[in-house]
A and B are shown apart, each in its own frame.
Chain A
Amino acid sequence: MVALRRVGEGLVTLFLVALVTYFFTSKMPGNEAAVICGPSGPACIRHETALLYLNHPFFARFFHWLGELFQGHLGLTLAPPIPISTVLLAAYPITLELIIYSQVIAIVVAIPAAMYGALRANRMFDKVSTAASFATLSLPNFIVGPLLVLIFAVKLAWFPGPASNVPSLWSDPGQNLYVMFLPSLTLAVGSIAVYQRLLRADMIATLEEDYILMARAKGLSTARILFRHALRPSTFSTMTVGGVQIGGLIAGAIIAETVFSLHGLGSVLTAAVAAKDLPTVQAVTIIVAVFYILCNLLIDFLYTLIDPRGRRGRRA
């Protein structure tokens, strides 16, 4: 029931995003048919106008476009005319990996830092990590990226810098993760700070709970108490915020791709905007929206997985 409602809400959101995207991109300067035809003459323009429903009212045009979209016909890019789907299929793995990799880094760093900080609240480590979080929160990605390049690629030469060749994750995972580390870290820095702060605050509250004292009275080790009893009940606000900041993450990914010259969705989008390639801009926007909605559905699902009280249950 609840799940169905969430999916329904997702579809409505998606529809609205499509509508808004279509509306704004159709307002971008340049007649689509004219851009496609270039110097080819009025016959071509007439033909394309009919093909693209350009002489129809806005909503007819929109639903025509949406119908095509649903059948997977994203159309062709402007120049050279290749299927947009081909371009996207080639580009999305980089962006997706960037986002997932960054979140893995963020979680791996933030959880132990938050736990240790909460366990020894207001002591040295906690103060330093909280201050570091504050500092990094105010640093935008386009500063963090070059800074990381300067330190780890140029000065220390531990990692490859921008414009490196990225082998596919499947053919050479080691090299891929190595090359993708700095771009992902760029994206992760902001998330680490957010997660560390939220998780630490919630963890401090959780550690005051009676069930933690009870776990202690059972003689369990501190590590066991933290991971088995304290971690999960402390993740709710972190997860909620995680869902909200996925949008920012996508924007951050585009910046990271630019800084590191990676060929992901971000570079496709920037190129398309520069070339006034409307169909491609629309397609990328829709893909991003789908991704955003899927992520939030996933978080809703994780929520019910972690908190049994949200599930329907019997009572004794």
Chain B
Amino acid sequence: MGARRRVREVRPTDGPLLEVEDLRTYFETRRGLVKAVDGVSFELIAGRTLAIVGESGSGKTVLSRSVMGLLPQRNVTREGRVRFAGLDLVGAPEHELRELWGDQIAMVFQDPVTSLNPVVRIGRQITESLRHHVGMSRSEARAAATALLRSVGIAEPEQRLRWYPHQFSGGMCQRIVIASAIACGPQLLLADEPTTGLDVTVAAQILDLLQRLQHERQMSMILVSHDLGLVAGRSDDIIVMYAGKVVEKAPTATLLSDTRMPYTEALLRSAPRLTDGSHRRLPTIPGAPPDPSDYPAGCRFASRCAYAQPRCAEEEPPLRPGAVPEHTYACWYPVGTPHGAEALELNRAGGAVG
């Protein structure tokens, strides 16, 4: 049957499947050094779903790609530690990472229509990683691809394998992308805004599909979204990113009920309702995020924060634990504390912000 041994057997370890420690990802550009990811740490336990949320430009895409190592080959610096199943991914050369990519770590991209090659039959796009990583024969891979298409809900999979991407709708394309991503049975699936551009009902179907597959296959998943409302019911933990940093991190229920960071609160307030469409911009937080090549001193959210005090512009708040140890946030005047209430009251009285 000719299945070649995988070059790198990755065994489940006792600790978290993924540990990210002080990850930094900087781009050298003509504008200067863009600090897209600026010291991010988190852990992901096997079998769980972690959501990363934040406004456009907060560094979610760069973070998810940086975790995987899937960055441009030039003008990038990536520092910190990423341990995946006991392997160190930051020091590893690309040819070693390639053995993990598509096999142990897979990614679903934002736009399903452009992430499929328009001139290659979808069958081949699904089977190529199986042939490459698992060493399946043509017919084995075909059979596997048929089963995969069926499991992502595509009817008549055998015939459809011969079709080209343009013959499918956007939602169908995303199902195909998902099928090809999970083909080799990865332990970690990164989904970067997998429902952008799809209408609301289709978006919900895709998220349900991802959730079902994750349970069936016991994968871990990182779900990136700018929509806190969308991931609220579909994640175990949530990381809130702002200007390249984690500003709040907690189990989903805690984050929603016990919000500490004013930015998270603002995101929650501006979360679109289901009827608004899936990729509506979030207009309700006044102001714009800071320039990633020139962050201000102190708290990066200060210029837009309703709680901000003089201290915020001088001293950067560190991440500190909340009521439960899994909950951390970075704020001097947290929501739901006497300190925060006082700060908000002061600003209201002074008529400074909202």
**Shortest Cβ distance from A267 into chain B, in angstroms?**
42
Asked if residues B68 and A217 are in contact (CB atoms below 8 Å), the reply is: yes
* A213 to B177 Cα, complex, angstroms: 13
Contacting chain B: which of A99-107, A240-248, A307-315? Answer: A307-315
A interface SS class: helix
**Shortest Cβ distance from A185 into chain B, in angstroms?**
31
Contacts of A224 in B (CB 8 A): 128, 132
* Binary interface encoding of chain B residues 65-105 relative to chain A, with 1 for a CB under 8 A from any of its CBs, else 0: 00010100000000000000000000000000111111100
Contact of A308 among B70, B111, B118 (CB under 8 A): B118
Asked if residues B114 and A211 are in contact (CB atoms below 8 Å), the reply is: yes
Asked if residues A316 and B168 are in contact (CB atoms below 8 Å), the reply is: yes
Asked if B166 lies at the interface with its beta carbon under 8 angstroms from chain A, I say yes
Contact of A315 among B103, B111, B168 (CB under 8 A): B168
Asked if residues A316 and B102 are in contact (CB atoms below 8 Å), the reply is: no
Asked if residues B129 and A315 are in contact (CB atoms below 8 Å), the reply is: no
Asked if B109 lies at the interface with its beta carbon under 8 angstroms from chain A, I say yes
Contacts of B97 in A (CB 8 A): 219
* A3 to B169 Cα, complex, angstroms: 28
* A220 to B183 Cα, complex, angstroms: 14
Asked if A228 lies at the interface with its beta carbon under 8 angstroms from chain B, I say yes
**Shortest Cβ distance from A258 into chain B, in angstroms?**
41
Asked if residues B166 and A210 are in contact (CB atoms below 8 Å), the reply is: no
Among B107, B119, B163, max chain A CB count under 10 A is at: B119
Asked if B160 lies at the interface with its beta carbon under 8 angstroms from chain A, I say yes
* A310 to B46 Cα, complex, angstroms: 45
Chain A interface category by residue count: 20 to 34
Asked if residues A308 and B99 are in contact (CB atoms below 8 Å), the reply is: no
Asked if B284 lies at the interface with its beta carbon under 8 angstroms from chain A, I say no
**Shortest Cβ distance from B146 into chain A, in angstroms?**
16
Asked if residues A221 and B119 are in contact (CB atoms below 8 Å), the reply is: no
* Binary interface encoding of chain A residues 12-35 relative to chain B, with 1 for a CB under 8 A from any of its CBs, else 0: 000000000000000000000000
Given contacts A218-B180, A219-B133, contact A313 B163 (CB under 8 A): yes
Asked if residues A233 and B117 are in contact (CB atoms below 8 Å), the reply is: yes
B166's closest neighbor in chain A, by CB?
A: A309
Asked if residues A233 and B118 are in contact (CB atoms below 8 Å), the reply is: yes
* Binary interface encoding of chain B residues 116-133 relative to chain A, with 1 for a CB under 8 A from any of its CBs, else 0: 111110000000110011
Contacts of B70 in A (CB 8 A): 213, 216-217
Asked if residues A316 and B169 are in contact (CB atoms below 8 Å), the reply is: yes
Given contacts A217-B68, A217-B107, A316-B163, contact A307 B129 (CB under 8 A): no
Given contacts A211-B115, A233-B117, contact A315 B109 (CB under 8 A): no
* A307 to B169 Cα, complex, angstroms: 18
Asked if residues B101 and A228 are in contact (CB atoms below 8 Å), the reply is: no
Asked if residues B119 and A308 are in contact (CB atoms below 8 Å), the reply is: yes
**Shortest Cβ distance from A304 into chain B, in angstroms?**
11
Asked if residues A214 and B106 are in contact (CB atoms below 8 Å), the reply is: no
**Shortest Cβ distance from A232 into chain B, in angstroms?**
5
Asked if A198 lies at the interface with its beta carbon under 8 angstroms from chain B, I say no
* A85 to B293 Cα, complex, angstroms: 74
Among B128, B133, B180, max chain A CB count under 10 A is at: B128
Among A209, A215, A217, A316, max chain B CB count under 10 A is at: A217
- Identify the A interface with B (CB < 8 A): 209-211, 213-221, 224, 228-229, 232-233, 306-309, 313-316
- Identify the B interface with A (CB < 8 A): 68, 70, 97-103, 106-107, 109-111, 114-120, 128-129, 132-133, 154, 160, 163-164, 166-169, 172, 177, 180
